[in-house]
Amino acid sequence: MKKNLLLAAVSLVALSAAAPALAADLAARPYTKAPAMVAAIYDWSGFYIGINGGGGFAHSTWDVVGGAREGSHDATGGTVGGQIGYRWQSGQWVFGVEGQGNWADFTGDNLSAVFATRNRSKIDAFGLITGQVGYAWNNVLIYVKGGAAVVDAKYEVQNLAGGVLASNTQTRWGGTVGAGLEYGFAQNWSVGVEYNHIFLSDKDVTFALVPSTDRIRQDVDMGLVRLNYKFGGPMVARY
């Protein structure tokens, strides 16, 4: 009996000695800081290619060289084309260069105030070579652009019934300015709207069969919807 009591006492002492060590083993793990949040932002840098379409008008004024003003008209119609360019982003600022080429059908005419004829103009195509400066809010980009423009234009002198008496085709150079808003909506794709104005200097155009020489002044305004595909990764991580 005494022996059993002695064994029980020894066991109780052993358990008491082991309890602190056991409690230490079961203590809570030390606190570790949660990983930092990662925010993905749109990156506008890279080469891109796209298509565009819209409408516009070319305001044309015809003056007989050395004589009176024949009149003015707006040549209106649609346009479709494509663009290719490169952008690079620094912070929220975006810089770029772009080339654009479009087919067009801007057509209009007016009755001459000098002759018993009609003056008709048509723009068949145009090209733009521009630089861009923009500011981005993640996947939304607003920008302005400017550069050189070239226009393929045709001018006709018609009789009152619409028959062509004389015509002349010109390739005209000028300048352009514009502005746009673009939205990156999925991976490498973006869609946007853009306004462009083309300045064309005065041009003396001779109609050999009439005969007469007119000084023709033209400016072009247009609105476009654009869809672009950008090569390379669309997103970067920001901590």
The CA distance from 37 to 91, in Å, is: 20
- pLDDT of 179-205, one tens digit each? 999 999 988 999 999 999 999 989 999
- pLDDT of 113-157, one tens digit each? 999 999 999 999 999 999 999 999 999 999 999 999 999 999 999
The CA distance from 169 to 69, in Å, is: 21
Single-letter code of the amino acid located at 177:
V
Q: Is the pLDDT of residue 22 over 50?
A: no
Average pLDDT, the chain: 87
Query: Cα 114 from chain centroid?
Result: 43
